[in-house]
């Protein structure tokens, strides 16, 4: 059976590149052996912090390679609606792990205060895509999740703490690593330790997620060598280290581009599904706008000169799913009452 050009593209994208599906770096067998599954003992590189309970000042830190038995898993989505538990004066006994979460929340607040930087961009939301069905009849839903919740802060502050601590540990012992640095607003990867100004830390590496990113795996190999008293597998300017850095950046750029194209496609599918002809948007800069409730940006040639953040109405037409393109025309300014 022959399908039209649009139908072929829609069928391929809706069955293979579904929003939320993950392409894992490592094979499933490796992930199963090292993933922190409830009730299982797993090898772990663990960071322990000695903390003063009165003001949560960190007095010492210790890194160990060990086997850890995972007593229970606490899923992000299961706790999302319970953020108030972290801020309560006293933990709530009716909430699972409330006492532990409350303690970690206070530690996260202290860590953020010590850095002098906010741990999450409150203005930049995440988006969840859900597709039910397949092919031409698939239904798309897109929901917005605001970042910067107490749970986000708890997780992000602990990750910044572990990655910053391990980056400094490697540098103090002269062991090369791949650092994530920021200066003058530009973020890049480097084999020499430099500050990450955006996070307010002197050292920062990615090492806490070796199942997710190859650069984390490289940095953990270096860390394991240091902890074990053996020679690190990579020297600072070795071809292998520089190649790992370059390949990681190239691959990340390709994945980011693909992710953006995929999200654009499903946003346009949603617009067609909902028969959107006029949509609300916000001016980003010049003639660039971001549509409300969607991770979708577009150039609007007819947009008058308006200040960033101005709410506008945009007429949408000519959606082309194959080219992932559409036409936008300025319709009106929406003044906030």
Is there a single domain that holds both residue 275 and residue 232? no
Is there a single domain that holds both residue 182 and residue 323? no
Segment 280-285 mean pLDDT: 95
Is there a single domain that holds both residue 183 and residue 294? no
Is there a single domain that holds both residue 98 and residue 203? yes
Residue 244 lies in a domain: no
Is there a single domain that holds both residue 192 and residue 299? no
Query: Hey, how many other C-beta atoms are within 10 angstroms of the C-beta on 216?
Result: 20
Residue 2: the pLDDT is 35
pLDDT band of residue 216 (cuts 50, 70, 90) is: very high
Q: Give the span between the Cα atoms of 227 and 30, in whole angstroms.
A: 23
- Which secondary structure element, helix H or strand E, spans residue 281, and what is its range? strand 278-285
Structure tokens at 166: 């391990």
Residue 122 lies in a domain: no
Q: Which of 135-139, 182-186, 292-296 has the lowest mean pLDDT?
A: 135-139
Residue 27 lies in a domain: no
**pLDDT per position as a tens digit, 33-48:** 898 899 999 999 999 9
Q: Which of 76-80, 176-180, 186-190, 323-327 has the lowest mean pLDDT?
A: 76-80
Segment 104-125 mean pLDDT: 78
Residue 87: the pLDDT is 60
Is there a single domain that holds both residue 166 and residue 311? no
Q: Domain of residue 292: give its range.
A: 270-333
Residue 255 lies in a domain: no
Residue 83: the pLDDT is 53
Residue 81: the pLDDT is 59
Higher pLDDT pick, 27 / 274: 274
Residue 127 lies in a domain: no
Q: Is the CB of residue 232 less than 8 Å from the CB of residue 177?
A: no
Residue 32 lies in a domain: no
Is there a single domain that holds both residue 160 and residue 83? yes
- What does pTM read for this prediction? 0.82
pLDDT band of residue 23 (cuts 50, 70, 90) is: confident
Please report, in angstroms and rounded to a whole number, the separation of the first and last CA atoms in the chain: 55
CATH number of the domain bearing residue 297: 2.40.50
pLDDT band of residue 306 (cuts 50, 70, 90) is: very high
Is there a single domain that holds both residue 275 and residue 228? no
Residue 266: the pLDDT is 93
Boundary-marking domain end, from 190, 222, 237: 237
Is there a single domain that holds both residue 176 and residue 229? yes
* Radius of gyration, alpha carbons of the chain: 23
Residue 290 lies in a domain: yes
If we measure between CA atoms, which residue out of 152, 157, 60, 50 comes closest to residue 113? 157
Is there a single domain that holds both residue 190 and residue 274? no
CA distances (Å), 39 to each of 31, 101, 262, in order?
Answer: 16, 20, 37
Is there a single domain that holds both residue 233 and residue 277? no
Boundary-marking domain end, from 219, 237, 255: 237
Residue 5: the pLDDT is 39
**pLDDT per position as a tens digit, 123-178:** 567 888 888 887 778 899 998 877 767 777 888 899 999 999 999 999 999 999 99
Give yes or no for residue 4 having a pLDDT over 60.
Answer: no
Mean pLDDT (the chain) is 85
Segment 3-8 mean pLDDT: 40
Residue 214 lies in a domain: yes
Boundary-marking domain end, from 237, 260, 279: 237
**pLDDT per position as a tens digit, 314-329:** 999 999 999 889 999 9
- Provide the 3-class DSSP secondary structure of residue 45: strand
Structure tokens at 53: 């309970």
Segment 187-202 mean pLDDT: 92
Domain count, the chain: 2
Question: What CA dihedral angle connects 181, 182, 183 and 188, to 10 degrees?
Answer: 70
Query: Hey, how many other C-beta atoms are within 10 angstroms of the C-beta on 140?
Result: 21
Segment 107-135 mean pLDDT: 79
Q: Which of 14-18, 305-309, 310-314 has the lowest mean pLDDT?
A: 14-18
Quickly tell me which residue has 């960190």 as its tokens: 58
Is there a single domain that holds both residue 305 and residue 231? no
């Amino acid at each position: 059976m022959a399908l039209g050009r649009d139908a072929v593209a829609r069928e391929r994208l809706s069955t293979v590149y579904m929003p939320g599906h993950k392409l894992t770096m490592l094979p499933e067998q490796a992930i199963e052996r090292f993933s922190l599954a409830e009730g299982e003992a797993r090898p772990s590189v663990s960071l322990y912090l000695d903390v003063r309970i009165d003001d949560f000042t960190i007095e010492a830190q210790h890194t160990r390679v060990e086997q850890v038995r995972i007593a229970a898993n606490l899923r992000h989505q299961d706790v999302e609606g319970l953020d108030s538990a972290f801020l309560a004066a006293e933990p709530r006994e009716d909430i699972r792990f409330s006492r532990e979460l409350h303690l970690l929340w206070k530690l996260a607040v202290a860590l953020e205060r010590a850095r002098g930087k906010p741990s999450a961009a409150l203005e930049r939301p995440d988006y969840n895509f859900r597709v039910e069905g397949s092919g031409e009849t698939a239904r798309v839903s897109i929901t917005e999740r605001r970042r910067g919740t107490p749970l986000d802060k708890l997780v992000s502050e602990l990750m910044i703490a572990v990655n910053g601590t391990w980056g400094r540990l490697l540098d103090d012992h002269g062991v090369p690593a791949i650092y994530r640095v920021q200066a003058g607003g530009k973020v890049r990867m480097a084999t020499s330790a430099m500050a990450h100004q955006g996070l307010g830390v002197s050292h920062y590496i990615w090492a806490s997620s070796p199942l997710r990113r190859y650069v984390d795996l490289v940095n953990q190999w270096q860390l394991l060598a240091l902890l074990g008293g053996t020679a690190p597998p990579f020297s600072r300017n070795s071809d292998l280290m520089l190649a790992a850095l370059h390949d990681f950046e190239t691959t990340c750029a390709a994945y980011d581009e693909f992710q953006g194209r995929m999200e654009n496609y499903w946003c346009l599918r949603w617009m067609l599904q909902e028969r959107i002809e006029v949509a609300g948007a916000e001016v980003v800069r010049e003639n660039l706008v971001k549509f409300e409730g969607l991770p979708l940006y577009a150039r609007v040639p007819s947009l008058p000169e308006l200040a960033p953040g101005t709410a506008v109405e945009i007429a949408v037409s000519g959606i082309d799913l194959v080219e992932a393109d559409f036409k936008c025309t300025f319709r009106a300014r929406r003044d906030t009452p």
